[in-house]
Amino acid sequence: MANGETEWKLQEAPLVDIDAKTIGSVSSLRRHSQIEEETVKEELELALPDYEGVAFGGYSWEIENWHELDSRASSSIFEVSGRQFRIVYFPQGILPSSGYASLFLEYIPSKIDKESQDYGVCCQFALIISNVKNPSLRVASSAHCRYSPEIQDWGFTQFAETKRLLSRNSPVAPPIVEDGALRINAFVRILDDPTGVLWHSFNNYDSKSKTGYVGLKNQGATCYMNSLLQSLYIIGTFRKIVYQVPTEKDESKNGIAYALQRCFYNLQFMNEPVPTTDLTKSFGWDSLDSFMQHDVQEFNRVLQDNLERSMEGTMENALKNLFCGKMKSYVACMNVNYESARTEEFWDIQLNVKGMKNLEASFRDYIQVETLEGDNCYYADTYGFQEAKKGVIFESFPPILHLQLKRFEYDFERDTMIKINDRYEFPLEFNAKAFLSPEADQDQNCEYVLHGVLVHSGDLDNGHYYALLKPQKEEKWYKFDDTRVTPATLKEVLEENYGGDYFVHPPFRPAVKLKRFMSAYMLLYLRKDKIDELIAPVHKDVIPNHLKEVLDENIRFVDQQRKERLESHLYTRVEVITPDYFANHHEFDLAKFGNPVDEDSMLHIRIKKELNVSNLLPMVSERVGIPASRLRLWYIVRRQNYTLRVEEPVNELNLSIEEAKGKWNPQGDILRLYLEILPENQTNYPLVNVSFDSPNIFLFIKYYDRKNQEIIGCGTLIVLKSDKLESICPELCERVGLPKDTLLHMYEEVKPGYIEYLRLNKTFAEGELGTGDIICFETRNPEDNDQANNKFATAAKLYDFMANRVVITFRPRFIDQESILEFELVLDRRIKLVKLCEELAEKLNTYADHIRLTTCSPLAYAANMVVPNNPNITLYEIMHASEEDTVSNILFYEIMNVSLSDLDKKRLLRVTWLFEGLANAELIDVYINKIGNVSDIFNAISQKYPELEVPNHKVRFYEILEHKWYRDINMRTMLRSLNPFARIIGEIIPEEELCLQENERVIVVCHFHKDVARMHSIPFKFVIKPGEKFAITRERLRFRTMYPDNIFSVIKFAIIDFDRNAVVYLNDDDDVFELLAGCNGTLAMDRAKKEIRKPTILDRAIQMKG
């Protein structure tokens, strides 16, 4: 039974006073007063005002003895406009221990519904439990849902506390359940579903069959790209241009134009969501790029630029003719006849949203004229400084007009980017002629029709893009949300994307104002006189043949896969290991199931579950091209020791495929078999019987090729249990081209990590060998040349390595290293750190003792713990050093300037050095002898930066704690006396401090934001002078800090009086020296905290390879 979520919980206020004498079977609200019916209806309509109701009705169910009810009670069936419902009541709740009664409204599908299996009935309903005698004592809730084959009941698992129903609410009021009686009312409003997807679960939803369009798959954070691509796809003219880019040559197959052609072709002809990995691969992106959210407008410009380059010499200006308009920037003098103007092209227009009511207001703001006067006069070449008017005006608009709404802007107060969610309206049609230059061609058509709205949902750091598009001139709108395409209403296109606030009206509750986080981000307008041409259908005959030939075959393959997925419940997958597969399997065991590379080389058969096993052999015979008389199939099972072995031949031919799978692989969904093939020259030799009580056993043979360091499959062998192992040595030698008298060693693959040596003078029975076991042999006396450069002298050693083998990815610890190299190594997890570093040193061309490793957090994929410099620690111990359950096979490496042994004698200190004021602070890592002093810190820094070689008396180091000055530290201060919790700051002392005049003072200046408790950044020393106005002091502070204008201009300066805990903001005429002389305080800078960090790979702009 479905668990509906409570939309509005009405605990106290009465929903409607129902006549206490009414006792119900089937009834409608006509049996209640007209006022009551209208009250309920109005409240429900107010809750969902945008949905048209097609019917409204209700039912009253009176229960006479609550205590005798079963755990589940149902009302009689009642109808609302031909639709049948009933109330389902759980007096003690679905979970009796919860202490809540559960209440649901169940829909009874009609005969037509059951036949269609695709019905949907959208309902809004209210459920009320009330006292029979006093209906004002009640508990009520309302909800809405879509009844479908998946959901046939909806409601509330915790409708009301059982004790509340049975207990008095006050000394004078009876309980709701009085004398065992209560009434349950249901009010049902059936709603129209104009799109067919209202409150749809979208399970098994098929976009192509419902809308004629398919979506694009999201690779992680490529929704911004998907929304733009869909908006470009619906423009038939653009699609034709893309198809006409020459891509027949092989070198074009990796280009962006070819990938975009494939994408558009698949969008037109595929029946399921289209992947975009080929497209992003053509951009030169890796998997990390696909998880980086970018700006739609930025992506559009980079894509268009790249396409234009692809069209050079063929269709130049084709894109420009579609998307490019012209605007004129001008400065016109007001008192002399002089104008400076420049005409430039635009591909899109960025319009302000903040402070603007609608699109027209933004356009008027865009072309607003600015008057240049006073100190801001314009310098005209021959007239000198003149008052002038400055502005921008449009000269022409393109057929396709992209308008980017500036929903994101920089907030100087908070010093960060924010999203503008203000309400902003845009029309279905608008005329841009009012924004044309008077000198422009006034006969050009400037009427535009809205055909696309690209939407951003969420906030700046956690958002999602989708598109609402109108692909045809008179067709309805659709919502393109990654893989899903659904019909959309005009309200979804306009009202829901204007942004701003909106109201919800819970039934019988005051309205609640909420903020809408969905808002239009980019608008697509098509010029009215060009619409028929722009969105004309693209027929297959205009698409190049080389595209159709390749992509049609791919689409057929995808459609076949899709069909197989839909029919998968009717079929069983069969995987057959062939002798060829076994010969090329160089690992432990019979096969490696679950590995896509290995499974591709197996024989795959898809067979109906109800067919008999006897149908398998003819199908296998046809696939391998060998007569069935030479073939035998064996069942493969997983033994208790986690190995895969054949168990017995496929003999019970009357079993169904489903029965066979259930018997031999009950936990899986695949039937796995081995194919035995009789040699061609033994066609008349019958297949040897191998059964549980047979004297024969069926073995698999492998050979260790010591020279090439690999295991090779050498087929199978049927032997007598009573034979000795040495009896098969001549045949084994013959199979690998060795003399028959070659001495051999043999091993049995028992289980992973355990290989047992076999004595050749024992029988197979004595060696406990049975059907399905695997024997590996090797030469006993290897030749000298086989030993050369061989890592594994015996098969046992190779098996031991394979059992402990791990693949480790090594990544540079910091992305700003000079040589960024990421690579993988196959290693033994028991390798010691010293040997591991030797292998890394060879790979990185450095010294082994200069490599430091850091583990990787398996959840954050970030550096975790530095590996201690212990040469005997193993790789396994390194990977499992943390207490996290999941282990990451990634290690970060650093190439240090000193050896790790020297590093152990030194202390890492991170010093913030102020190169030119606070704006140029840099974090420097230095390694200093643990017995050193502060002068050693400066010596180490000056070695890195020779320009800092100044006398020690001109250098200052100091410590800060919690962004407050802690203490000065002189050059003789020992490192062991430094505060481990303090931050070390270093700088060259400013000249005005070194030449301090009489009466001048040196003070500490700190940073805060609005509240003195919110200190941040680096405090610094500053000289204040008696009698100096703050206007001059501020300019010296500008020079001292070297902050750029955009930061310094928003700083407020204040005096903090610590005794009074007060902040006094300064004016230009204030004397800082005098103000500080009269209080226990300091000078402070009030500004938002600016997080200064090094750029990371996630900060890079969109780039596409050419």
Element spanning 384, H or E: strand 384-386
| Average pLDDT of the residues in 680-709 | 76
Distances in Å between the alpha carbon of 227 and those of 285, 479, 904? 18, 10, 54
Residue 988: helix, strand or coil by DSSP?
strand
| Helix/strand/coil for 211 | helix
Neighbours of 576 (CB within 10 A): 22
Cα separation, 129 vs 1023, in Å, equals: 77
Is residue 223 within 8 Å of residue 461, measured between CB atoms?
no
- Mean pLDDT to the nearest integer, 460-465: 80
Candidates 504, 505, 508, 503; CA nearest to 139 is 508
- From residue 340, alpha-carbon distances to 309, 326, 375, 612 in Å are 32, 17, 19, 88
- Rounded CA gap, 889 and 393, in Å? 59
Q: Residue 1106 pLDDT > 60, yes or no?
A: no
Locate the DSSP E strands across 896-1029. Answer: 906-914, 921-929, 955-961, 964-969, 983-988, 1001-1009, 1011-1024
First-last CA distance in the chain:
57
Q: How far is CA 396 from CA 443, 660, 937, in A?
A: 11, 74, 64
- Give the C-alpha separation, 648 to 593, whole Å: 19
Which range, of 15-24, 742-751, 844-853, 856-865, averages the lowest pLDDT?
15-24
Helix runs in 1004-1059, H state only:
1030-1041, 1045-1048
Instruction: Give the sign of the dihedral formed by CA 388, CA 392, CA 394, CA 395.
Output: positive
Across all residues in the chain, what is the average pLDDT?
A: 85
The larger pLDDT score, comparing residue 459 to residue 156, is at 156
Q: Which pLDDT value is given to residue 746? A: 95
pLDDT higher at 214 or 885:
214
923 bridge partner residues: 912
* Range in 4-18, 26-40, 756-770, 1073-1087 with the lowest mean pLDDT: 4-18
pLDDT at residue 20, rounded to an integer: 29
Cβ(880)–Cβ(873) below 8 Å: no
The predicted pLDDT at position 786 comes to: 54
Strand boundaries in 1040-1103, DSSP class E:
1052-1057, 1062-1065, 1081-1086
Q: At which residue do the structure tokens 């004698």 appear?
A: 905
What are the distances in angstroms from CA 223 to CA 99, 264, 272, 457, 483? 44, 16, 17, 11, 10
Nearest to 1064 by CA among 1050, 1079, 1045, 1049: 1079
Q: Under a CB-based contact definition with an 8 Å cutoff, are residues 695 and 721 in contact?
A: yes
Here the tokens at position 698 are 């069926």
Say if residue 11's pLDDT is above 60. Answer: no
Percent of the chain with pLDDT over 70: 89
As a whole number, mean pLDDT of residues 19-43 equals 49
Cβ atoms of residues 47 and 140 within 8 Å: no
Q: Which of 71, 52, 51, 58 lies closest to 19 in space, CA to CA?
A: 58
Query: pLDDT tens digits for 958-1013?
Result: 999 989 999 999 999 999 899 988 999 999 999 999 999 888 999 999 999 888 88
Highest averaged pLDDT of the listed ranges 164-173, 398-407, 638-647, 880-889: 398-407
Structure tokens belonging to residue 154: 């909806």
Residue 242 has pLDDT above 80, yes or no: yes
Going by pLDDT thresholds of 50, 70 and 90, the confidence category of residue 294 is: low
HEC readout, 36-97: HHHHHHHHHHHHCCCCCEEEEEEEEEEECCHHHCCCCEECCCEEECCEEEEEEEECCCCCHH
Q: Which residue has the higher pLDDT, 41 or 347?
A: 347
Whole-number pLDDT of residue 820: 59
Answer yes or no: is pLDDT of 597 > 90: no
Paired strand residues for 384:
380
Give 248's DSSP letter.
-
- β-pair type (138-147, 8-10): antiparallel
Q: Of 217, 407, 402, 418, nearest to 303 (Cα)?
A: 402
Residue written as token pair 């040699």 = 679
pLDDT exceeds cutoff 70 at 783: no
The structure tokens listed for 316 are 């130049």
Q: In the structure, what pLDDT confidence band is assigned to residue 840 with cuts at 50, 70 and 90? A: very high
pLDDT band at residue 691 using 50, 70 and 90 as cut-offs: low
Give pLDDT, residue 936: 92
For residue 446, what are its two tokens?
């400037």
CB 501 within 8 A of CB 518: no
What is the 8-class DSSP label of residue 253? T
Cα 499-501-503 angle, rounded to 5 deg: 130
More confident residue, 781 or 703: 703
CA nearest 805: which of 826, 790, 791? 826
Q: Residue 423's pLDDT is what?
A: 93
What number is the average pLDDT over the span 18-31? 34
Which residues are CB-contacts of 914 (< 8 A; sequence separation ≥ 6)? 920, 921, 985, 986, 987, 1018, 1020
Looking at residue 414, its pLDDT comes to 62
Interval 314-326 mean pLDDT: 87
Task: Flag whether pLDDT at 1092 surpasses 50.
Answer: no
Rg for the chain (alpha carbons), in Å?
40
- Evaluate if pTM is beyond 0.75: no
CB 240 within 8 A of CB 542: yes
- Cα 1033 from chain centroid? 50
pLDDT surpassing 90 at residue 174: no
**Residue 728 near residue 717 (C-beta atoms within 8 A):** yes
Residue 868 CB contacts under 8 Å (≥ 6 apart), including other chains: none
DSSP assigned state of 869: S
What per-residue confidence (pLDDT) applies to 1026? Answer: 92
Q: Which two tokens stand for residue 1018?
A: 């680096």
For residue 28, pLDDT beyond 50: no
Cβ 157 vs Cβ 92: under 8 Å: no
Report residue 990 as tokens: 């400013």
According to DSSP, the residues that pair with 1011 across neighbouring strands are 1009
Average pLDDT over residues 315-336: 89
Catalytic residues: 223, 464
Section 898-906 average pLDDT: 82
**Lowest-pLDDT choice from 275-284, 622-631, 736-745:** 275-284
Tokens of 896: 């240090």
DSSP state of 1100: P
Q: For 1056-1067, what is the mean pLDDT? A: 86
More confident residue, 374 or 881: 374
Alpha carbon distance 866, 830 (integer Å):
19
pLDDT on residue 866:
87
Indicate if the pLDDT at residue 1029 is higher than 90.
Answer: yes
Ordered domains of the chain (ranges, CATH) = 8-191 (2.60.210.10), 211-320+538-542 (3.90.70.10), 325-534 (3.90.70.10), 573-679 (3.10.20.90), 688-791 (3.10.20.90), 804-904 (3.10.20.90), 906-1086 (3.10.20.90)
Which range, of 39-53, 295-309, 432-446, averages the lowest pLDDT?
295-309
% of the chain surpassing 90 pLDDT: 39
Query: Within a 10 A sphere around the Cβ of 70, how many other Cβ atoms?
Result: 9
Classify strands 906-914 and 983-988 as parallel, antiparallel or unpaired. Answer: parallel
Task: Give every CB contact of residue 1099 below 8 A, 6+ residues apart in sequence.
Answer: none
Print the SS3 string covering 676-716. Answer: EECCHHHCCCCCCCCCCCCCEEEEEEEEEECCCCEEEEEEE
* pLDDT tier, 1099 (very low <50, low <70, confident <90, very high otherwise): very low
In one-letter notation, the amino acid at residue 656 is S
Q: What is the pLDDT of residue 380?
A: 85
Quick check: 393 and 367 in contact, CB under 8 A? yes
Per-residue model confidence (pLDDT) at position 730 = 94
Count H helices, E strands: the chain?
29, 53
**For residue 9, what pLDDT is reported?**
33
For CA atoms 288, 294, 298, 299, the dihedral sign is: positive
Contact between 283 and 565 (Cβ < 8 Å): no
Mean pLDDT, rounded, for 1027-1036? 93
User: What integer is the mean pLDDT of 760-771?
Assistant: 92
Q: How far apart are CA 361 and CA 903, in angstroms?
A: 65
Residue with tokens 């009689």: 76
Determine the residue type at 1070: D
Residue whose structure tokens are 């015979």:
621
Q: How many CB atoms lie within 10 A of CB 851?
A: 23
Question: Does the pLDDT of residue 884 top 80, yes or no?
Answer: no
Reduce the secondary structure of 295-357 to three states and give it as a string.
CHHHHHHHHHHHHHHHCCCCCCCHHHHHHCEEEEEEEEECCCCCEEEEEEEECCEEEECCCCC
Q: For residue 444, what is the DSSP state?
A: S
